[in-house]
Amino acid sequence: MTMEFTDRLTRVEPSATLAISALATELENDGVDVVDLSVGEPDFPTPENIVEAGKDAMDAGHTGYTTSAGIIDLREAISEKLADDGLDHGPEEIIVTPGAKQALYEIIQALISDGDEVALLDPAWVSYEAMVKMAGGDLTRVDLSETDFQLEPALDDLEAAVSDETELLIVNSPSNPTGAVYSDAALEGVRDLAVEHDITVISDEIYKEITYGVEPTSLGTLEGMADRTITVNGFSKAYSMTGWRLGYFAGPEDLINQAGKLHSHSVSSAVNFVQHAGLEALETEDPVAEMVDAFEDRRDLVINLLEEHDIDVAEPEGAFYMMVPVDDDDQAWCEGALEDAHVATVPGSAFGTPGYARISYAASEERLEEGIERLADEGYL
């Protein structure tokens, strides 16, 4: 029997990150100075030339509907960007969406039905679980917390978790919430299993442009992966454009067309002038190199500060998050840290990995220092 959509929704929790942010905002409204280390957005403005391109596009009248898949100039520019990453997708294999989240939602809704099995690597970004449940799918989870969040040493566990029943595997490298970048050997292991069991893979590469001394490989470039990988990316993180809502997905035409139907009958397209701003973003060389340098300095700062309290973390190689080991009851730890130290973090259990809190270092060095000091003073470190 198929499950009603309303029943599926009852299986979904509200976003833990948004719930913590809401609590933090409540405290702030009461006049409390909260150090918010829970947010998943760069604390840098969108580069000026991109803002100007958006305004110019609006002035030029780019305010009507666009083709559902997105304006051809942007899809061609995305196609070139993907080619630089070694991926071969023409504009007809690319759909522009209002954010990468929408891209993921459309793909999962299009590919997954009642009882289909989807494998996740834990800790995993909060919305994957919710999206799979909304589609009626069942989850198989592989815990990477015993291997410093690296996939390569956990490939045996992944092998044990997947089978011919597995419809979809979601890989997110660099990862939210760990900042881990998976090695080529790990991705080759994924490829071998995907080919053996005929599994479609979503490669969520939203943090690909934010890395520290490593270059993540795109899964779709591996031999045997081109016709089974859907690559997701967007402009929110790499260009500090979270509120503009611009993302995309690219993959083999049959899979893209399925998801594209959902796209055209629901959101229609991304905002017209925003797509023009995205075109400018892709044409700008290293628009946010300064931001990535700042994140790297902050990562090092936080690691050093935590070391002073005898806390070792797995060093992130990308994105702007790290998982800090805390009490087994991470939910209580995070609530207490917010109430007592006025520091907002996100419980690891929200990502499928209890015993950790996720810290976002998309905050100034002063605020990071203040946050760690408060946590230590209140006995949380």
> Which positions touch ligand PLP (CB under 6 A)?
40, 99-101, 125, 172, 176, 204, 206, 234, 236, 242, 247
Q: Closest CB to ligand PLP among 235 and 380?
A: 235
> How many whole angstroms separate alpha carbon 160 and alpha carbon 144?
14
Q: What residue number has its CB nearest to ligand PLP? A: 99
Q: Establish how many alpha carbons lie within 13 A of residue 240's alpha carbon, considering only the half-sphere containing its beta carbon.
A: 20
Please, what is the minimum distance in Å from the beta carbon of residue 368 to ligand PLP?
19
The tokens of 104 are what?
A: 């993921």
Closer CB to ligand PLP, 320 or 333, in the complex: 320
Element (H, E) at 290: helix 289-308
- The CB-of-380 to ligand PLP minimum distance in angstroms stands at 25
- Enter the DSSP assignment of 286: S
Strands ordered across the beta sheet of 247-250: 94-97, 247-250, 229-234, 200-204, 166-172, 117-122, 138-143
CB of 98 to ligand PLP, least distance (A): 8
Our CB check for ligand PLP shows the closer of 34 and 100 to be 100
Residue closer to ligand PLP by CB (options 206, 346) is 206
- Say if CB 280 and CB 241 are below 8 A apart: no
Looking at beta carbons only, is 175 or 200 nearer to ligand PLP?
A: 175
Q: How far is the CB of 267 from ligand PLP (least distance, A)?
A: 12
Cβ nearer to ligand PLP, comparing 126 with 343: 126
Q: How far is the CB of 11 from ligand PLP (least distance, A)?
A: 21
CA nearest neighbour of 90 among 262, 268, 250, 272: 250
Task: Provide the Cα torsion 284, 285, 291, 297; round to 10°.
Answer: 170
Q: How far is the CB of 203 from ligand PLP (least distance, A)?
A: 11
Q: Which helix (H) or strand (E) holds 83?
A: helix 72-84
Two tokens at 216? 């993540």
